[in-house]
């Protein structure tokens, strides 16, 4: 099988790369020249593994969901990233990157955040490692995400309001990148997903690959085989999916299904279905599929889920789609909501609305009774309770 991981030039097939201005290229190249040596060092691995175990609570369980399996007449195992400290997979990456910053001798972390989940994960690890933390956030998002903003401040972070453009995530990314350039290698830009210029997509995938490493070992222990018939995950930028499939993507007997957010429907104009609708283009310093409007500009994405509401997608997925290695399902808001209520009622697990997109794949796919299906529950639903309550009456009959 061909290589689906990054090549020596920072590309996945024709996607990826580092499309950044010269001033930013210095920062990116500096990171690219150091990250692999650091990640592969014994000292880093020991410290990373220790924190994942004692601070995050890893390994996260691989749980055979008995009632869900009966419901779909197959064998479903849930990878429980929702049980991690801070409630999602994002902490794996945040801990890994802050350790890389430490090994590079940097003690000021900058990051951008949209809904605030990545900002909270970053502020958390900055408190843990006693590092200065500056979070760039659009003013509109600051007003919408009051609780996460207060959490970041409580954790000791400085939240910097960005008032350019639409005052949302894209502008926050630009402001954070500008701050990175101006700092002349005295800050570390902690990116939250498998996106951005090389080496970020590969670095994030490697740090999240602990998910797939555990799946292999846990599945072997529980079923006598380390390869499932299906691996399923949701993709926003693609970090939890990258971790889930990292160690299985070159195994031809493993089918991979990824759920992206269709929003109100792929043809509705209110969608974030990048892999279904996207055009090859450059966004935030890398080449991938991007949703463009009629003018050829980056479209404003929409999804009920803040974590999947992004107009680009990690470059590895553009390549995996082109090479037909993965199946993509675009899941609507309502399909995700139904899946959330179903999991809650069948298993007593309230999933994050992002994860519910992956769970909806179970409803849309025909499995054999002997199939083994592994699905990553990327986060817990506490942060989405308001969304669920607003919709509970419409989904009263879901089983």
The DSSP output letter for 52 is I
Q: Where are the beta strands (DSSP E) in 181-235?
A: 188-189, 230-234
* Chain residue at closest Cβ approach to ligand PLP: 379
Phi, psi at residue 195, to the nearest 5°?
-130, -175
Q: Does 307 bind ligand PLP (CB under 6 A)?
A: yes
Q: How far is the CB of 353 from ligand PLP (least distance, A)?
A: 8
**Pick 89 or 342: Cβ nearer ligand PLP:** 89
**Pick 234 or 361: Cβ nearer ligand PLP:** 234
Q: Does 236 bind ligand PLP (CB under 6 A)?
A: yes
CA within 13 Å, CB half, 141: 32
* Active site (annotated) includes residue 90: yes
Q: Locate 258 and state its tokens.
A: 């990824």
Q: What is the DSSP string of 65-101?
A: -HHHHHHHTSEEEEEEGGGSGGGBTHHHHHHHHHHHH
Residue 272, classified by CB atoms within 10 Å of its CB into exposed (0-12), middle (13-18) or buried (19+), is: buried
Of 112, 260, 335, 354, the catalytic one is 112
Stretch that binds ligand PLP, among 52-60, 129-137, 234-242, 316-324 (CB under 6 A): 234-242
Q: Does 234 bind ligand PLP (CB under 6 A)?
A: yes
Q: Does 173 bind ligand PLP (CB under 6 A)?
A: no
User: H-helix or E-strand containing 149?
Assistant: helix 146-154
Q: Are 88 and 81 in contact (CB under 8 A)?
A: yes
Stretch that binds ligand PLP, among 20-28, 123-131, 153-161, 350-358 (CB under 6 A): 350-358
Q: Does 240 bind ligand PLP (CB under 6 A)?
A: yes
Task: Please pick, from the candidates 60, 69, 74, 193, the single residue that binds ligand PLP as defined by CB under 6 A.
Answer: 193
CA dist., res. 26 & res. 40, Å (int): 23
* Active site (annotated) includes residue 214: no
Q: Locate 136 and state its tokens.
A: 């760039």
**Pick 32 or 235: Cβ nearer ligand PLP:** 235
Q: Does 378 bind ligand PLP (CB under 6 A)?
A: yes
* Active site (annotated) includes residue 370: no
Q: How far is the CB of 358 from ligand PLP (least distance, A)?
A: 9
Stretch that binds ligand PLP, among 7-15, 142-150, 351-359, 389-397 (CB under 6 A): 351-359
SS3 call for 288: strand
Residues of this chain that interact with ligand PLP (CB under 6 A) are: 88, 90, 117, 193, 234-241, 307-308, 352, 354-355, 378-379
């Amino acid at each position: 099988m061909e290589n689906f991981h990054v090549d020596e030039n920072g590309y996945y097939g024709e996607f990826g790369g580092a499309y950044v201005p010269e001033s930013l290229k210095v920062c990116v190249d500096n990171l690219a020249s150091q990250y692999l040596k650091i990640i592969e060092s014994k000292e880093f691995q020991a410290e990373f593994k220790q924190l994942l175990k004692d601070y995050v609570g890893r390994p996260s369980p691989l749980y055979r969901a008995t009632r869900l399996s009966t419901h779909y007449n197959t064998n479903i195992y849930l990878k429980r990233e929702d049980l991690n400290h801070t409630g999602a997979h994002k902490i794996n990456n945040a801990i890994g990157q802050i350790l890389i910053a430490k090994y590079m001798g940097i003690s000021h972390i900058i990051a951008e955040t949209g809904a605030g989940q990545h900002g909270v994960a970053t502020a958390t690890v900055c408190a843990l490692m006693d590092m200065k933390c500056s979070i760039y956030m659009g003013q509109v998002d600051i007003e919408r995400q009051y609780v996460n903003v207060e959490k970041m401040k409580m954790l000791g972070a400085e939240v910097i309001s960005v008032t350019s453009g639409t005052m949302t995530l894209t502008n926050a990314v630009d402001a954070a990148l500008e701050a990175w350039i101006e700092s002349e290698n005295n800050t570390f830009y902690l990116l939250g997903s498998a996106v951005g210029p090389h080496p970020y997509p590969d670095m994030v995938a490697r740090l999240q690959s602990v998910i797939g490493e555990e799946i292999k070992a846990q599945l072997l222990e529980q079923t006598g085989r380390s390869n499932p018939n299906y691996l399923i995950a949701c993709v926003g930028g693609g970090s939890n999916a990258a971790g889930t499939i990292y160690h299985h993507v070159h195994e031809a007997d493993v089918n991979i299904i990824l759920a992206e957010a269709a929003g109100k429907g792929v043809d509705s104009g209110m969608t974030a279905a990048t892999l279904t609708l996207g055009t090859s283009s450059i966004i935030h310093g890398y080449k991938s599929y991007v949703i463009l409007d009629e003018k050829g500009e980056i479209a404003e994405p929409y999804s009920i889920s803040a974590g999947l509401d992004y107009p680009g997608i990690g470059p590895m997925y553009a390549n995996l789609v082109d090479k037909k290695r993965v199946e993509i399902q675009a899941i609507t808001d309502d399909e995700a909501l139904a899946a959330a209520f179903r999991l809650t009622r069948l298993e007593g697990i309230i999933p994050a609305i992002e994860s519910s997109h992956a769970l909806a794949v179970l409803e849309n796919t025909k499995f054999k009774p002997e199939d083994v299906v592994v699905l990553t529950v990327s986060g817990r639903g506490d942060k989405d309770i308001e969304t669920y309550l607003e919709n509970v009456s419409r989904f009263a009959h879901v089983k």
